[in-house]
Amino acid sequence: MLIVLFEVIKGYFAERFAWNEALVIRIEVGSVLALILLVLNLLFHFSAAQADEMSGTLNDTLVSFRSASGSLSVVTNAQLYAELSHASRASRHRIYTMYLGMVPPADSSLPEKLDYFAEILKLPKQKRQVVFRRIVLFSDSNRPWIREMARQYAGLANVSLAVYRRPEHAAQPLSIQLFDQERVFIVRAGARPPGQPRDIIVNDSIVVSLFDDYYSELWNQADVIVDSGRPVDHALAALG
């Protein structure tokens, strides 16, 4: 739905008012972000104070986008993982990721996805100055993969790993990936067949700051099983 709106807005304003693409993109960004934050509020039930704060921040963001150089792209699944790999290698301060699939990435047939997850597993040892946080959806299929990550991350002070258990009948959270303070990836923003655009990449520090709160909220609802390289025994035992 977000992606469909993105395309409709772009075509309408470009044709109706003869606006250039850069201006249309900035307006698209504001519209898409507004919808995304509305969805987050519905799914995540922010408090009134949090909603007011995010609304104020969003207004500031829209004002900023009128003159900022922020950009938004809609990409295919294969393009997404190529961009995630590039962002991971380029990050200098932090990489906060989510994986909300019911089966582990190793079950995928997409080469770009397999390459990215193999790379991100090893990256914390190579980039000790970068802080890594990973949220993974708990499922029976994901359990062995989660345990393997916990084993490999033990002793790495720059890595924390948490397991999110989705409450029964709760909606699936929106999966985001944050790189430094510059890029946010919104994974599977629309339900489309493989090979069609369905993921969103936003390059803008103000937009990233909006999604920091969302990531922190979900992190606080998850069970931390590796805390800055220290295994949390009771949380690991609860994996079964």
- Which candidate, 149, 142, 145, places its Cα nearest to that of 165? 142
* Residue indicated by tokens 């100055």: 129
For residue 18, being part of any structural domain is answered with no
Q: What size, in residues, is the chain?
A: 240
Q: Cα dist. 21→64, 67, 86 in Å?
A: 17, 14, 25
Structure tokens at 160: 């924390």
What is the Cα 180 distance to its own chain's centre? 12
| Strand 94-99 relative to strand 175-179, pairing | antiparallel
For residue 21, being part of any structural domain is answered with no
166-220 pLDDT per residue, tens: 998 888 888 999 999 989 999 876 666 666 777 889 998 888 888 998 999 999 9
Tally of domains in the chain: 1
**H helical segments located in the chain:** 2-17, 21-44, 48-65, 77-90, 111-126, 143-153, 205-221, 233-237
39-85 pLDDT per residue, tens: 455 445 445 455 455 555 555 554 554 445 568 888 888 899 999 99
Side chain identity at residue 32, one-letter code: V
Can you state the angle between helices 48-65 and 205-221, rounded to 10 degrees? 160
For residue 28, being part of any structural domain is answered with no
For residue 128, being part of any structural domain is answered with yes
Side chain identity at residue 44, one-letter code: F
pTM for this model (two decimals)? 0.75
89-148 pLDDT per residue, tens: 999 999 999 999 999 999 999 999 999 999 999 999 999 999 999 999 999 999 999 999
Q: Which domain holds residue 115?
A: 70-237
For residue 56, being part of any structural domain is answered with no
> What CATH number is given to the structural domain containing 144?
3.30.870.10
Side chain identity at residue 199, one-letter code: D
For residue 174, being part of any structural domain is answered with yes
Quote the CA–CA distance of 72 and 56 in Å, as a whole number. Answer: 21
- Which candidate, 14, 22, 11, 33, places its Cα nearest to that of 200? 33
